[in-house]
Each structure stands twice: as structure tokens, then as C-alpha cells.
């Protein structure tokens, strides 16, 4: 766990203090024709902390992510990213600029690596914009400009440091598509970190992981929060992961925010239990409570 | 170990009934195919058209298909010795008879051959030789012929990786051979012409490889940029009297711009849709050239395109008074071959520039971004890569090389017309890239030699040219669906030879 090499990245000029609002989502609404996928959701994700978005299937979690990362243009609402140097309005940005200029990185529910490129190349591609500048937008690089070669070496070092962190350094020259599933998940997180993000959005990072891999993921995310000092926003179904590492939890159901708070608050929130956790605990509940819950408005079959 | 066990256990006993049924079925299919196409020969007398039956040929075809199928089954069942014992004498006999026939010896023996047409007999002879080689090869390898698809694929991949390793040597070797070719006694006008043509297509293949192989954008209208390059040069020469070397950068620039302009509207399209639209663009460019009479001369084309000069010295027999030509300057007598050799070296130089440029750019951030875009556009966007600019640079750079090649084409021919830029040209260039293996530089060279060079050599067999072209395509698609040399070499390695010490 060596310290990362210091790099001249303009994306992170200085850090916001822990817990200060990093991402502010205000009145976010997303309609697809008549279908309201997200209905007036507002929440705040703090700097240097982990915020989880949970909710049953179809609650609109991934839609929130897609709005944040520019894949959808929200119908209504404002998405503000607070940098120490000033605020950025995400909803007005073109998709790729959100990663390039605002520094919002994301992973995908169904992993999206570059399967036929090597593990190392995946991480180098993530440093594309930095390397493009260093290569003089290809012109200097074509002639083997020394500054570019140095930048490339630095990029490889940086990638290597991340490969060490996620335990993939040995397999750096493998094709990414040949990695086992859990390793692909870790690689995707490492790749997202290689763009030097201020906010890391993870879409179900623990899906398909075994308990040991899940535990490793927890420590990786905590390390990212504490060492890299960036904000993490994650969607997750695995309650073990969510309850253990989240500083704050936002609960969505049918596109609406039904609760928000610390893990303890959310765990004991009756609305949440009814809408979401209730399903899991139903077997252990006494008969009359189960019947009461069954009559509730939020119950699902 | 399973393979070894089966090899020890020996081949299964043959089920002759099944084999005969299989062969009979094949023969029946051949009969259905040939009865109408081969069996009826339409004879055109001056006043009447009659159908003359050619049953002999049909019967011969059916018998050959029947026997050939049996040989195939024997090969499949690992009876290599029988195949070898029958195929070698037969192939040899056919070969000798055919050879004798073409030299005019032993004409009586020709009656032993199944077909009167020697070309067909040559093809059959070739098939027998292939069977024999296959048998010999499997015997030597002592591996069962029926490998699973994955195993065959993996083996081919390993071969490709090995080829790619040797490619570092093969590449320079081919280059040296190409460099030395005009100096060898082998070089005659035909060979140099074919060499020039093949290298033009190699250059086009390398250019298109940027768009199709690296960026994964299926472009069926590549010839449009070739045309833009050719016409840019021809028109600049016609209206402003500029020479080849002055126009070359302009032609590249014009084509590159055309590539970017045509790239804009198709940015959102992928795969089949992109292919269709680019095909349309290719035709549009040709139609514009065909119909803009006042500028391009329409179907009449542009003639008198100037030849390239050797540092300002024209390679012409006669020059105006007071000017020097290449020949008067060096005090050598005029030979028309000198111009051909010069053109050969010009295209060799241009192709090598294309090669070095594309190899280099692949290892730069933009090249990796192209490949990443080919793999997953959405992931690219999430990493802050601008898909629009990245795609447009791929289109532009690919088109630029087509433009260079186009102006070379114009200067070589001295005459251009829209006829030279039809869709079939795009298809051939794309076939070279696909057959060579997406993104493989050496594969393009081999594919261009196979698809352009060989048909030019065997021009006498022109009737069978497209047939052979199709057969080559089908064969390669069956055995190497990803192309001849489809092994991707990483652009950089952590555990490369250089950094191994520091890696652990």
C-alpha cells in the first residue's frame, strides 16, 4: 500500500472538508413518456463520505445514476457538484464532460470493461484526457516527445499503484475479459479511480460477489473514502455492505425518496421496513404484524 | 490425455453403409446443381439457339463428388494411409497428364481426364493435393482431425501469436524484399505493375484498418475518400498546374476533411446502420463526380494528370527546351522502365509512411481511445473520453491515407474517371482488412497479396477470378473467422522485457 505518486491533475485542486455537501440533488424528476421513473427526489452526498442509495427493484436508483452521469437529461431538477474551486451544474453538461471536467466517475451494474484490451490498458485509457494533453493532442506523441514518454511512464505507475490496491498487479497483462467476475468488478472500480474523480458512483458493486470478496470490497471502499478523500455514492442490494460502510443512506421506492439518514435511522424506519426490508424479515415476524404490514400501502407481491 | 487414449485405441471400424449413403447424398446434390447449369449447353447458331446436352460432364461431376466425399469421410475417420495411398498417385498422374497436355506431349492420355477443360482438371488436381497434404499433416501430428472448435480456435490463436512474434522479423524482411525487388532479375514490367497495385491496396488497407480495425466503425464507402484524393490532385493539377508532390498534402487534407464532414452525420450510428449509410455516401461521391460535368468532366474523367517528378526532374522522354529531365540530368538513356520503378518506390514509400504512422498512433492515447471505443462506447463516455472527436479523428485519419493513395492512383494512371471508384473497390479494401484480421498490419499485407496479387498473376483464368475470390473468402471465414492474423498485441505491458526487474 504505497502512497500514490503525486500528479498534476487539475480535476482535484483542493479538498472539501469531510461531510461538507459534495453533491446536491434538488427536485430531480425523470419522466419517460407517461412513466415517472424518479419523482421529485432531493438528497445530499457528503465529501469524504459514503452515501448509499437503496430501494427495491425498479425504484429508480440506476435512473438517478444515469441522470448524474449524463446518460439521461433530467426532466426537472438541479444537480450541483460543489468543488472547492466552484460549483458545477451537472444537468447541463454533455455526458463525457461530467467525467472529464466535473470528475464524476462511475461503474456499471453489468460490468463495462474493455474486454479485449489488457487490464493495464483499461487503466491507461481511463487517463486518456491527461495523456492526450501530454502527447500534444497526438502531434508531439507521434515524434516520441520526451514529455509524453514521461507522462506515459507516470500513468503506468499510477495504474500500477491501483492494480496493487485491488490485487490485480500480477494479472496486469491479461485480457480484461479473461478475468474472473469478482476481479472484473474490482478492475472497474480501479479504472474509475484512474480518472481522478471527486465523486465515485458505484452501481451495485457487490452484485455477484461471494462473502469474502464482499468484505474485501468494503475495505476497498472505506480506503477510497479515507485515503483518497473523495465522496462515494453507491447503489447496493447487499445490506451487509450498505449497513456496514455507509455514512448516510437514501431510500427510494417507486421513484420517491421515502427515507434518509444514518444506517441506524434507516434500519429502524417503519416506512423502509414496510417498503423494502420488510420482505426480508417477513418470515421472522409474528403473524399479526405480518398481516398488518400486508395491508400497508407500500406492500409488494 | 483423452486425445492420446483415442489415438492408441485406433480408428473406429468404418460403417460403409452410412458412408455410401452420405456420398450418394452429396452426389445427388451435385447432380441437382449441375444438371441445369452444366448439363445444358446453349449453342447459338446464327439463326437459332439450341440446347445441346452435356451429360458426360454431369456424370463426371457426380462421380467425382461421390468419390471426393468418401475421401473426406476417410480423412475424418483418420484413415490417412488409404487417402495418401490413393490421392498421391492420382494427383501425380493428373498433374503429369495436364503438364504434358500444356506442353503438347501425350495428347492421347487427355481422354483419361474427366473434363475436357484443363482449368477444371487443375482445380480437381489441386483438391487431391490438398487431401493428400491434409492426410500427411494429421499423420505427422498424430492428432485427431476432428478437434473441437474451441481447441482449433485456441490453436489458431497460438499460431497467430507466434506469427505476430515472428512478424517483427517478417515485416522488415518483406520490406527489404520489396525494396530489392526492382533490382533483381525477377523484375519485369508485369511484376512491378502488380507490386505497385498490391502496395496501393496495402496502403488503403492500412488506412481503412484505422477506421474498421481500431475504431470498429464499419465503413463501406471508403473508396469515396480515395476518389476525393484522386480528384483533388487531378483538378489542382489541371487548373493550377501543380505537381504531384505539391498536391499530395492537399489531397490528404481534402480527403481528411471529407472524412470528418461525412463522419459528422453518422456519429450516432453503429454496426450495420453505419455500414449502410457509409455505403450510400460512397455512391453519392461517385455520382457527384459522374454528374458534375463542368468541374470533373463527368464520365469522361480527367486525362493528362501529371506524372510525379524526381525532385523536380520529370521522368519523360522529351522535355521542353531549357528544362532537364531525370535522364538528361543523370546522362542516362531514356527507358520506360525507369518510370515504373520510380512509381514502385513512391508507393513503397507512401505505404511505409502509412504503416509507421498507424503503428505509432495505435500506441498513443488516441489509438487506445479508438480501441476502447470499439469495445464499449458507453464506458468510454463514463471515463471522460469524447466519443465524437475520437470517432471523427478516426474517420479523418483513415480518409487522409485514402487521399494519399488516391492521388498516387491518379498520377500512376494519368487518367481518372468515376468508373474507378465503384462500390466493388470499397468491398475489396474492406475484404483485405477483414481477411487480414482486424488491426493486424501484416495480415493486411498477406490478404492484399492473396486478393489483389494472385488474381492479377492468373489473369488468364479471369473467368474464375470472382469464383476464386469468393472461395478464398468463404475458406478464411470458416477456418479463421476473425481473420488470418487476428491476434491483438497489447499497446503496452507492465511485465514487458524492459520492466520485469522492477515489477516484482
Nearest 5 degrees, angle CA B40-CA B42-CA B45? Answer: 150
> Tell me: the pLDDT tens digits for A264-275?
888 888 887 777
pLDDT digit string (tens) for B425-439?
888 888 888 888 776
Q: What is the mean pLDDT of chain B?
A: 81
pLDDT at B4: 45
Long-range Cβ contacts of B169-178 (<8 Å, 24+ apart): B170/B442, B171/B441, B171/B442, B174/B442, B174/B445, B175/B352, B178/B348
- Is there a domain that residue A99 lies in? no
Q: Average pLDDT of chain A?
A: 80
- In degrees and rounded to multiples of 5, residue A286 shows phi and psi of -60, 155
pLDDT at A9: 46
For residues B455 and B465, the answer to whether their CB atoms sit within 8 Å is yes
A3 vs A1: CA distance, rounded Å: 7
According to the model, what pLDDT value does residue A44 have? Answer: 85
E strands of B365-469, at which residues?
415-416
Q: Specify the pLDDT at position A7.
A: 42
* Length, in residues, of chain A: 301
- Write down the pLDDT at residue B502: 35
Interface test with B, best of A124, A138, A148 (most B CBs within 10 A): A138
- Smallest CA-to-CA distance from B164 within B359, B350, B347 is with B359
**3-state SS record for B333-367:** CCCHHHHHHHHHHHHHHHHHHHHHHHHHHHCCHHH
Q: Give the lowest-confidence range in A153-167, A233-247, B33-47.
A: B33-47
pLDDT > 80? residue B464: no
Q: Which of A217-221, B121-125, B358-362, B371-375 has the lowest mean pLDDT?
A: B121-125
For residue A298, being part of any structural domain is answered with yes
What is residue A175's DSSP assignment?
B
The distance of Cα A90 from the centroid of its chain, to the nearest Å, equals: 15
| Chain A, nearest residue to B356 by Cα | A142
Domain span holding position A274: 269-301
pLDDT top residue among B407 and A2: B407
- Other C-beta atoms within 10 Å of B478: how many? 8
Mean pLDDT, rounded, for B154-178: 75
Per DSSP, the three-state class of A76 is strand
Q: Which residues of B touch A112 (CB under 8 A)?
A: 376, 378-379, 382
Domain residue ranges in chain B: 9-146, 165-479
Number of domains into which chain A is organized: 1
ipTM: 0.81
Please indicate, yes or no, if residue A301 is contained in any of the structural domains: yes
Task: State residue B53 phi and psi, 5-degree precision.
Answer: -70, 145
In a domain, A290, yes or no: yes
**Per-residue pLDDT band at A175 (split at 50, 70, 90):** confident
- Per-residue pLDDT, B270: 75
pLDDT at B204: 93
Query: Is A278 a domain residue?
Result: yes
Q: Which residues lie across from A79 on neighbouring strands? A: A25
Quick one: CA torsion of A208, A213, A218, A224, rounded to 10 degrees?
Answer: -100
> Cα–Cα distances in Å, from A274 out to A45, A289, B96, B402?
25, 11, 90, 65
Average pLDDT for residues B78-98, to the nearest whole number? 83
For residue A166, what are the CA distances in angstroms to A163, A182, A184? 5, 11, 10
Residue A6 scores a pLDDT above 50: no
Nearest to B491 among A112, A121, A142 (CB): A121
- Cβ within 8 Å of residue B316, ≥6 positions away: B307, B325
Choice between B334 and B230, residue whose per-residue pLDDT is larger: B230
**Interchain proximity A108–B488, CB inside 8 Å:** no
Mean pLDDT (whole number) for B402-409: 93
A97 chain-B contacts, CB cut-off 8 A: 384
Q: Tell me, what's the pLDDT at A301?
A: 38
Percentages of chain B per state (helix, strand, coil), in multiples of 5: 75, 5, 25
Task: Note if the pTM is more than 0.95.
Answer: no
When mean pLDDT is compared across B112-116, B214-218, B387-391, the lowest value belongs to B112-116
Residue B254 confidence (pLDDT): 92
Nearest to A87 by CA among A108, A68, A101: A101
A257 contacts A251 by C-beta, under 8 angstroms: yes
Nearest-Cα distance to chain A for B386, in Å, is 6
Residue B151: pLDDT over 80: no
What DSSP element (H or E) covers A258?
A: strand A256-261
* Average pLDDT of the residues in A237-265: 84
Q: Which residues of A touch B (CB under 8 A)?
A: 69-71, 95-101, 105-106, 108, 112-118, 120-121, 124-126, 128-129, 131-132, 135, 138, 141-142, 152, 156, 160, 163, 169, 172-173, 191-192, 195
Q: What is the pLDDT of residue B460?
A: 65
Kindly determine whether residue B383 and residue A120, on different chains, have CB atoms separated by under 8 Å. no
- Average pLDDT of the residues in B373-385: 88
Amino acid at each position: 500500500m504505497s502512497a500514490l505518486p503525486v500528479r498534476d491533475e487539475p480535476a482535484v485542486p483542493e479538498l472539501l472538508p469531510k461531510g461538507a455537501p459534495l453533491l446536491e440533488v434538488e427536485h430531480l424528476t425523470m419522466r419517460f413518456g407517461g412513466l415517472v421513473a424518479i419523482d421529485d427526489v432531493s438528497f445530499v452526498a457528503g465529501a469524504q463520505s459514503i452515501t448509499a442509495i437503496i430501494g427495491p427493484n425498479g425504484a429508480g436508483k440506476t435512473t438517478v445514476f444515469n441522470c448524474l452521469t449524463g446518460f439521461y437529461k433530467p426532466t426537472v431538477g438541479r444537480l450541483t457538484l460543489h468543488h472547492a474551486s466552484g460549483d458545477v451544474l451537472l444537468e447541463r453538461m454533455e455526458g463525457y464532460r461530467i467525467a472529464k471536467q466535473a470528475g464524476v466517475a462511475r461503474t456499471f451494474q453489468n460490468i463495462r470493461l474493455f474486454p479485449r484490451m489488457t487490464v493495464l490498458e483499461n487503466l491507461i485509457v481511463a487517463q486518456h484526457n491527461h495523456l492526450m494533453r501530454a502527447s500534444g493532442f497526438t502531434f508531439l506523441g507521434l515524434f516520441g516527445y520526451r514529455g509524453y514518454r514521461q507522462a506515459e511512464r507516470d500513468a503506468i505507475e499510477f495504474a500500477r499503484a491501483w492494480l496493487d490496491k485491488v490485487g490485480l498487479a500480477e494479472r496486469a497483462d491479461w485480457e480484461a475479459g479473461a478475468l474472473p467476475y469478482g476481479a472484473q468488478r474490482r478492475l472497474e472500480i480501479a479504472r474509475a479511480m484512474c480518472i481522478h474523480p471527486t465523486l465515485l458512483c458505484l452501481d451495485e458493486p457487490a452484485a455477484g460477489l461471494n462473502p469474502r470478496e464482499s468484505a474485501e470490497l468494503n475495505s476497498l471502499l472505506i480506503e477510497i473514502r479515507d485515503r483518497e478523500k473523495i465522496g462515494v455514492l453507491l447503489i447496493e442490494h447487499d445490506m451487509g455492505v450498505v449497513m456496514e460502510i455507509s455514512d448516510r443512506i437514501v431510500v427510494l421506492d417507486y421513484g420517491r425518496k421515502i427515507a434518509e439518514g444514518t444506517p441506524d435511522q434507516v434500519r429502524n424506519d417503519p416506512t423502509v421496513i414496510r417498503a423494502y426490508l420488510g420482505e426480508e424479515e417477513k418470515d421472522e415476524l409474528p403473524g399479526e404484524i405480518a398481516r398488518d404490514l400486508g395491508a400497508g400501502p407500500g406492500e409488494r407481491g | 490425455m483423452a486425445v492420446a487414449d483415442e489415438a492408441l485405441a485406433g480408428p473406429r471400424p468404418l460403417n460403409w453403409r452410412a458412408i455410401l449413403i452420405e456420398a450418394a447424398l452429396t452426389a445427388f446434390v451435385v447432380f441437382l446443381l449441375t444438371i441445369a447449369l452444366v448439363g445444358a449447353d446453349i449453342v447459338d447458331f446464327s439463326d437459332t439457339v439450341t440446347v445441346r446436352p452435356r451429360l458426360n460432364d454431369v456424370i463426371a461431376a457426380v462421380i467425382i463428388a461421390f468419390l471426393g466425399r468418401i475421401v473426406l469421410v476417410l480423412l475424418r475417420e483418420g484413415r490417412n494411409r488409404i487417402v495418401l495411398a490413393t490421392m498421391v498417385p492420382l494427383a501425380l498422374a493428373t498433374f503429369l497428364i495436364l503438364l504434358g497436355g500444356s506442353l503438347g506431349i501425350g495428347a492421347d492420355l487427355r481422354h483419361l481426364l474427366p473434363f475436357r477443360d484443363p482449368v477444371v482438371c487443375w482445380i480437381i488436381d489441386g483438391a487431391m493435393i490438398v487431401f493428400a497434404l491434409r492426410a500427411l499433416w494429421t499423420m505427422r501430428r498424430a492428432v485427431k482431425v476432428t478437434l473441437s472448435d474451441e481447441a482449433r480456435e485456441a490453436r489458431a490463436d497460438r499460431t497467430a501469436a507466434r506469427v505476430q512474434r515472428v512478424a517483427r522479423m517478417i515485416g522488415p524482411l518483406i520490406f527489404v524484399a520489396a525494396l530489392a525487388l526492382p533490382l533483381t532479375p525477377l523484375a519485369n514490367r508485369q511484376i512491378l505493375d502488380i507490386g505497385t497495385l498490391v502496395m496501393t491496396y496495402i496502403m488503403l488497407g492500412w488506412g481503412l484498418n484505422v477506421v474498421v480495425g481500431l475504431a470498429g466503425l464499419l465503413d463501406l464507402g471508403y473508396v469515396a475518400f480515395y476518389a476525393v484524393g484522386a480528384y483533388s490532385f487531378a483538378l489542382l493539377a489541371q487548373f493550377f498546374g501543380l505537381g504531384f508532390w505539391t498536391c499530395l498534402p492537399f489531397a490528404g487534407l481534402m480527403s481528411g476533411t471529407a472524412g470528418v464532414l461525412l463522419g459528422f452525420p453518422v456519429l450516432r450510428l453503429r454496426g450495420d446502420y453505419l455500414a449502410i449509410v457509409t455505403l450510400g455516401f460512397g455512391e453519392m461521391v461517385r455520382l457527384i463526380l459522374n454528374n458534375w460535368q463542368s468541374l470533373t468532366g463527368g464520365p469522361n474523367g480527367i486525362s493528362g494528370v501529371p506524372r510525379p517528378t524526381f525532385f523536380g526532374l520529370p521522368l519523360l522522354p522529351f522535355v521542353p527546351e531549357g528544362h532537364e529531365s531525370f535522364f538528361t540530368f543523370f546522362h542516362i538513356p531514356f527507358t520506360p522502365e525507369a518510370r515504373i520503378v520510380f512509381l514502385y518506390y513512391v508507393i513503397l514509400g507512401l505505404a511505409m509512411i502509412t504503416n509507421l504512422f498507424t503503428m505509432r498512433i495505435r500506441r498513443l492515447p488516441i489509438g487506445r481511445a479508438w480501441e476502447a471505443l470499439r469495445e464499449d462506447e458507453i464506458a468510454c463516455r463514463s471515463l471522460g473520453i469524447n466519443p465524437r472527436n475520437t470517432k471523427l479523428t478516426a474517420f479523418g485519419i483513415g480518409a487522409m491515407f485514402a487521399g494519399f493513395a488516391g492521388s498516387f492512383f491518379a498520377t500512376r494512371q494519368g487518367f481518372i474517371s468515376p468508373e474507378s471508384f465503384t462500390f466493388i473497390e470499397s468491398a475489396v479494401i474492406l475484404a483485405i482488412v477483414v481477411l487480414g484480421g482486424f488491426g493486424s498490419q501484416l495480415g493486411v499485407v498477406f490478404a492484399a497479396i492473396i486478393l489483389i496479387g494472385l488474381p492479377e498473376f492468373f489473369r488468364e483464368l479471369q473467368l474464375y477470378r470472382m469464383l476464386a475470390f469468393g472461395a478464398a473468402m468463404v475458406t478464411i471465414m470458416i477456418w479463421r473467422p476473425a481473420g488470418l492474423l487476428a491476434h491483438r498485441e497489447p499497446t503496452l505491458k507492465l511485465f514487458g522485457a524492459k520492466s520485469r526487474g522492477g515489477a516484482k
